Structure 1
Amino acid sequence: SLEIIDNGRPYDPTKTPPPPLAATLDDAEIGGHGVRLMQHYLHDLRYTRNGNENRLPLVMRAA
């Protein structure tokens, strides 16, 4: 597991829908695909805001 902590503006990636999949790579939108990858590959993805900190623990199941 890995926990990302920053003091940027609040942003909850667990509430952000990824952009629609494009038919081809040339038609794909730029941005937002990291959310799709996290939702697909991570076992547990939770966001919390603690004071001025964003906390995002990333838990991946062992193969």
Structure 2
Amino acid sequence: MPTPDLSRVRWFTSSRSANNGDCVECALLPDAVAVRDSKDPSGPVLTFSAAQWATFVAAPPRRP
């Protein structure tokens, strides 16, 4: 997957996340989703294809 230009994307967090900074931020791209650590916005970014992201969010939660 080519490296997307992330300079103008809109990053967001889940509406269920607290305001303590311990969450991930996501950005919707044309054919992918980018994910980064909210505590380190200039740090590494993981990029998932739309199909990979759909599989991830559809997966049932794991229970301890």
TM-score range for the pair, normalised by the shorter chain length: under 0.3
- Normalization by structure 1: what TM-score? 0.25
Q: Over alpha carbons, which structure has the higher Rg?
A: 1
Query: Greater helix share, 1 or 2?
Result: 1
- Normalization by structure 2: what TM-score? 0.25
Higher relative contact order (CA 8 A, sep 6+): 1
